[in-house]
């Protein structure tokens, strides 16, 4: 075991944990925003998947990672638009609409991929990494945390901004009020529907960017069902984060590591069956849920449509 | 919270104007399906495929060819059982979205134990034993989400989903590990055709289809004629009222989940013992989310599941052929099913609005129409 704990191993472990965790971070951050405003976005998986496909197409066509990420975010935003129209505006059942978004996105991406590429899976070029001066020379952390593609740093900055908005701005207050006491917010003269619309669209865009990152940087390609339940894990992370912006960072890193543990071990010739590898993140989610159930705290009006005058 | 059929709706439908109510029900159920196929046709057009030929192929392969028709009827068995399992929880406004994990874990157990058990006790006793094992496994796989929901109110949508991914992994580990047969490819040993569920003479339709139909009737009676069904309805309509009525909500939640999982496990047993006789690693028919719309279209009425199950089976059998012909992945059915769900909630919304005597069109659109 001791020879496992070499700098090379740890560097690879942390680096691949971050690689797997960043899409989760984006998606979970988006879901946190949506949940805080009272929208339970079950369709997150569908938004991540559509974003992944769009991002892959964007980068494949232009060779530019930023175009891919932008396109992924845009498509995620469009998909979340369905959630806005049906659930936020018309007050339809968030769970049924969410499930239908997941199904439709899975079917549509698979169909489009099949029609465009058939059985071939074109690969994207590797993404250049940005090594931060000085910090990048620290052992282990330097080669992993501080030598990452630029979007990773952007994600962390984003978390700080969202945290600031949550805590320090009136927009953040309105957001949380929309999730806890929508009627009070309405009485205070702020439109619940507008707040939730903005929150949900932001969530969709972030989920799309997360998916695009997963396809462009993580996988370097797109295969149907690429996300394989990642959106659902992001929902759990958002739930356990208790509405704090830093929650997703911790959760994403934890689950990213659990996904990458097997990859890192394989580097050392320790073979773990691929099924165990795929199960591991879900097992850790269940373990965390069972252990920390009481940690999760959800907004009071989560999942309930807000219709003026309706009780 | 759940949009589709609440008990109050059922009462209203049975009141005077029954023919009108039935017509309304048909519109609400068939409308979304028609719209979904229309939209799917548009996507096919966009992809440069001929939708009419595509749908024609579905009908040809799913109904018109004798072998296709028999396949469609056989496909009904698991679909009916899963739908029956889902009706039980959906009535209580509980979400069991973990079908695939429960199904595959049970399927792996049946496929692994089947050849051994049936070699010793062939015939009905062996089948019943294997079905019981499958039901127990399916029920067991719902216990953690059910307890988390009952005790701590943890969202069961998420937990059942998580358990699905774990269950799929466990099933694969079983098939590749202890249950691996002697072949090179990772799959279980095979149950000889003679020991599998008996076919109707001259066809490939196995008796599991009748088991499934019988279960649907039993579930319907249990939901409509027993206090258990009523308690589920109360829990679904208002959990707080259920507590005030003295219903043991925690126990009812766990029971409903266990029954649901058991029927899904039974579906797996019927599929393995009736059609396949073995299980390949990484085999996953992924019935789970696709069956959800059937249950809603049937408006949580167990008997009404049957026509939708027939329809779904035809589309899924015929669709595999049609997709191959169009050189597309057969996942188009996910797309159709997703669209059906969304059109279903929209139809429900509009018809509720009409029932309240409101305009269906938004005010501005209605005014514009009046001005013209």
Quick check: A192 and A185 in contact, CB under 8 A? yes
Instruction: Tell me what pLDDT residue B356 has.
Output: 79
Residue B339 pLDDT > 70: yes
Hey, are the CB atoms on A103 and B290 less than 8 Å from each other?
A: yes
The string of DSSP letters for B280-346 reads: BTT-----HHHHHHHHHHTTT-TTTHHHHHHHHHHHHHHHHHHHHHTT--TTHHHHHHHHHHHHHHH
pLDDT band for B151, please (50, 70, 90 cuts): confident
Which chain A residue is nearest to residue B97, measuring alpha carbons?
Answer: A99
| Model confidence pLDDT, tens digit, residues B35-84 | 999 999 999 999 989 999 999 999 999 999 999 999 999 999 999 999 99
Angle at the Cα of A101 (from A99 to A103), degrees rounded to 5?
A: 70
Q: Which of A275, A280, A303 would you mutate first to test chain B, the one with the most B CBs within 10 A? A: A275
Contact A293 B331 (CB under 8 A): no
H-helix segments, B183-248:
208-225, 227-237, 239-244
Q: What is the pLDDT of residue B370?
A: 62
Give the residue, B203 or B214, on which the prediction is more confident: B214
Look at residue B207 and tell me whether its pLDDT is greater than 70. yes
Q: How confident is the model at residue B13 (pLDDT cuts 50, 70, 90)?
A: very low
Q: Give the count of alpha carbons within 13 A of A76, CB side only.
A: 36
Average pLDDT over residues B274-301: 90
Using a pLDDT cut of 70, give the percent of chain B over it: 92
Rounded Cα distance between B40 and A26, Å, is 31
Most B-contacting residue of A89, A111, A278, A292 (CB-CB within 10 A), to test interface: A111
Domains delineated in chain B: 51-356 (1.10.3470)
The answer to whether residue A86 scores a pLDDT higher than 70 is: yes
pLDDT at B257: 97
Q: At what angle do helices A170-180 and A192-213 cross, to 10 degrees?
A: 100
> Is A306 a member of any domain?
no
Q: What is the mean pLDDT of residues A289-305?
A: 75
Q: Is the pLDDT of residue B14 over 60?
A: no
Beta-bridge partners for B180: B188
**Minimal CA separation from B361 to chain A, in Å:** 12
Question: Which structural domain range is residue A200 located in?
Answer: 16-123+167-295
Residue A156, domain member (yes or no): no
Question: Quick check: B338 and A107 CB within 8 A?
Answer: yes
Taking an 8 Å cut-off on Cβ atoms, the answer to whether B335 and A108 are in contact is yes
For position A51, what pLDDT does the model report? 97
B127 near B119, Cβ under 8 Å? no
Residue of chain A minimizing CA distance to B173:
A275
What is the per-residue pLDDT for B5? 44
Q: Tens of pLDDT along B165-201? A: 999 999 999 999 889 888 888 899 999 988 999 888 8
Determine, for residues A289 and B148 on separate chains, whether the beta-carbon distance falls below 8 Å: yes
Residues from chain A contacting residue B37 (CB–CB below 8 Å) = none
Residues of B in contact with A82 (CB under 8 A): 342
In chain A, alpha helices (H)? 7-36, 44-62, 65-83, 94-117, 141-144, 150-168, 170-180, 182-187, 192-213, 230-240, 246-267, 274-291
Question: Helices A7-36 and A192-213, interaxial angle, to 10°?
Answer: 160
Does A219 reside within a domain?
yes
List chain A residues with CB under 8 Å of B166: 279, 282-283, 286
**A218 confidence band (pLDDT: 50, 70, 90):** confident
Is the model's pLDDT at B372 over the cut of 70? Answer: no
Residue A270 banded pLDDT, cuts 50, 70, 90: confident
For residue A54, is it within any domain?
Answer: yes
Q: How many CB atoms lie within 10 A of CB A85?
A: 14
Decide if B1 and A118 are in contact by the 8 Å CB cutoff.
no
- Partner residue facing A273 (CB), from B159, B173, B292: B173
Query: How far apart (Å, rounded) are the C-alpha atoms in residues A140 and A118?
Result: 41
- Cβ within 8 Å, pair A102-B157: no
Helices and strands (DSSP H and E) totals, chain B:
16, 0
CB A27 within 8 Å of CB A79? no
pLDDT of residue B6: 44
pLDDT category at A244 given cuts 50, 70, 90 is confident
Per-residue pLDDT tens over the stretch A14-71: 888 888 899 999 999 999 999 999 998 999 999 999 999 999 999 999 988 999 999 9
Enumerate the residues of chain A whose CB falls inside 8 A of the CB of residue B334.
103-104, 106-107, 110
Q: Stretch B323-349: mean pLDDT, rounded?
A: 90
In this complex, the residue of B170, B333, B345 whose CB is nearest that of residue A96 is B345
Beta-carbon contacts below 8 Å between A and B: 148
Give the closest of B148, B154, B332 to A107, CB-based. B332
Confidence of residue A88 (pLDDT cuts 50, 70, 90): very high
A209 assigned to some structural domain = yes
CB-based contact B342 A115, cutoff 8 Å? no
Give domain status of residue A277, yes or no. Answer: yes
Read off the pLDDT band of B4 (50, 70, 90): very low
Distance CA A131, CA B66 (A): 65
Among A90, A111, A275, beta carbon nearest to B349:
A90
The model's pLDDT over B224-267, given as tens digits with 9 standing for 90+, comes to 999 999 999 999 999 889 999 999 999 999 999 999 999 999 99
Using a CB-CB cut-off of 8 Å, the residues of chain B touching A273 are 173, 176
Q: What is the mean pLDDT of residues A217-246?
A: 87
CA nearest to A76, candidates A162, A159, A175, A200: A200
**Nearest chain B residue (CA) to A91:** B349
Q: Among B1, B47, B162, whose Cβ lies nearest the Cβ of A115?
A: B47
Nearest one of A33, A35, A52, A43 to A215, comparing CA atoms: A52
Give the phi and the psi of residue B111 in degrees, each rounded to 5: -65, -35
pLDDT tens string B237-248: 998 899 999 999
Q: How far is CA B167 from the centre of its chain?
A: 18
Residue with more model confidence, B142 or A12: B142
CATH number for the domain harbouring residue A274: 1.10.3470.10
Cβ atoms within 10 Å, residue B239: 18
CA A70 – CA A209 distance, rounded (Å): 7
Segment B95-120, tens digit of pLDDT: 999 999 999 999 999 999 999 999 99
Q: What is the pLDDT of residue B363?
A: 61
User: Cβ contacts (< 8 Å) between A44 and chain B: which residues?
Assistant: none
**Residue A22 in domain:** yes
Q: What are the contacts of A171-176 at 24+ separation with CB within 8 A?
A: A175/A33, A175/A36, A175/A37, A175/A199, A176/A36, A176/A37, A176/A243, A176/A299
Report yes or no: B338 and A101 within 8 Å, Cβ to Cβ. Answer: yes
pLDDT, chain A, mean: 86
Residue A138, pLDDT > 80, answer no
Average pLDDT for A128-151: 73
Of A82, A93, A296, the CB nearest to B2: A93
Q: How many domains does chain A have?
A: 1
For residues B96 and B138, give the distance between their C-alpha atoms in angstroms, rounded to a whole number: 12
B341 → chain A, closest CA residue:
A100
Buried-state track B339-358, b at ≥16 Cβ within 10 A, e below 16: bbbbbbbbbbbbbeeeeeee
Whether B155 sits inside 8 A of A239 (CB atoms) is yes
Residue A3 has pLDDT above 60, yes or no: no
User: Per-residue confidence at A306, pLDDT binned at 50, 70, 90?
Assistant: confident
Q: Is A243 left (phi over 0), alpha (psi -120 to 50) or beta?
A: left
pLDDT tens digits for range B15-28: 446 777 777 777 88
Residue A3 in domain: no
Lowest mean pLDDT among A176-190, A223-237, A292-306, B305-319: A292-306
């Amino acid at each position: 075991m001791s020879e496992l704990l070499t700098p090379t191993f740890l560097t690879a472990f942390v680096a691949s944990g971050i690689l797997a965790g960043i899409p989760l971070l984006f998606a979970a951050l988006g879901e946190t925003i949506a949940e805080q405003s009272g929208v339970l976005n079950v369709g997150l998986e569908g938004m991540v998947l559509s974003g992944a496909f769009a991002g892959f197409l964007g980068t494949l066509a232009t060779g530019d990672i930023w175009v891919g990420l932008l396109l992924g975010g845009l498509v995620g935003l469009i998909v979340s638009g369905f959630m806005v129209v049906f659930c936020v505006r018309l007050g339809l059942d968030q769970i049924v609409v969410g499930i239908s978004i997941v199904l439709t996105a899975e079917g549509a991406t698979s169909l489009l991929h099949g029609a465009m590429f058939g059985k071939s899976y074109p690969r994207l070029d590797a993404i250049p990494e940005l090594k931060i001066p000085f910090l990048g020379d620290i052992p282990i952390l330097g080669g992993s945390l501080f030598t990452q593609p630029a979007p990773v740093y952007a994600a962390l900055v984003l978390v700080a901004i969202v945290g600031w908005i949550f805590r320090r701005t009136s927009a953040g207050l309105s957001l949380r009020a929309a999730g806890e006491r929508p009627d009070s917010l309405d009485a205070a003269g702020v439109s619940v529907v507008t707040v939730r619309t903005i929150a949900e669209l932001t969530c969709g865009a972030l989920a799309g960017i997360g998916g695009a990152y997963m396809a462009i940087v993580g996988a370097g390609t797109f295969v149907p069902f690429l996300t394989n339940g990642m959106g659902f894990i992001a929902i759990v992370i958002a739930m356990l984060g208790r509405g704090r912006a830093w929650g997703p960072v911790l959760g994403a890193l934890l689950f990213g590591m659990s996904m990458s543990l097997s990859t890192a071990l394989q580097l050392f010739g320790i073979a773990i069956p691929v099924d165990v590898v795929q199960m591991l993140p879900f097992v850790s989610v269940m373990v965390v849920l069972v252990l920390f159930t009481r940690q999760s705290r959800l907004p009071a009006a989560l999942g309930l449509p807000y219709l003026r005058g309706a009780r | 919270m759940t949009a589709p059929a609440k008990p109050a709706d059922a009462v209203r439908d049975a009141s005077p104007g029954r023919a009108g109510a039935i017509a309304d029900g048909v519109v609400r159920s068939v409308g979304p399906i028609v719209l979904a196929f229309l939209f799917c046709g548009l996507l096919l057009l966009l992809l440069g495929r001929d939708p009419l030929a595509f749908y024609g192929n579905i009908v040809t392969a799913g109904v018109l060819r004798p072998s296709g028709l028999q396949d469609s009827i056989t496909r009904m068995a698991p679909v009916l059982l899963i739908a029956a399992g889902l009706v039980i929880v959906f009535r209580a406004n509980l979400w069991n979205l973990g079908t695939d994990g429960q199904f595959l874990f049970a399927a792996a157990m049946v496929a692994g134990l089947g050849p051994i058990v049936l070699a010793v006790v062939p015939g009905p006793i062996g089948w019943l034993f294997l079905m019981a094992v499958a039901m127990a496994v399916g029920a067991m796989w719902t216990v953690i989400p059910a307890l988390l929901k009952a005790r701590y109110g943890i969202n069961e949508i998420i937990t059942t989903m998580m358990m699905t991914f774990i269950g799929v992994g466990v099933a694969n580990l079983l098939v590749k590990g202890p249950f691996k047969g002697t072949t090179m490819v990772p799959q279980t040993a095979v149950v000889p055709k003679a020991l599998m569920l008996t076919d109707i003479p001259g066809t490939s339709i196995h008796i599991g289809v009748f088991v499934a139909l019988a279960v649907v009737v039993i579930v319907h009676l249990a939901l409509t004629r027993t206090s258990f069904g009523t308690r589920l309805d109360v829990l679904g309509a208002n959990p707080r009222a259920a507590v005030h009525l003295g219903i043991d909500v925690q126990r009812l939640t766990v029971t409903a989940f266990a029954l649901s999982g058991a029927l899904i496990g039974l579906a797996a047993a019927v599929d393995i013992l009736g059609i396949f006789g073995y299980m390949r690693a990484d085999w996953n028919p992924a019935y789970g989310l696709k069956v959800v719309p059937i249950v809603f279209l049937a408006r949580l009425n167990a008997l009404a599941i049957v026509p939708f199950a027939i329809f779904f089976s035809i589309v899924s059998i015929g669709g595999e052929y049609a997709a191959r012909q169009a050189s597309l992945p057969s996942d188009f059915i996910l797309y159709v099913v997703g669209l059906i769900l969304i059109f279903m909630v929209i139809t429900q919304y509009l018809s509720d609005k009409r029932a309240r005597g409101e305009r269906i069109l938004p005010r501005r659109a209605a005014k514009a129409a009046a001005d013209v």
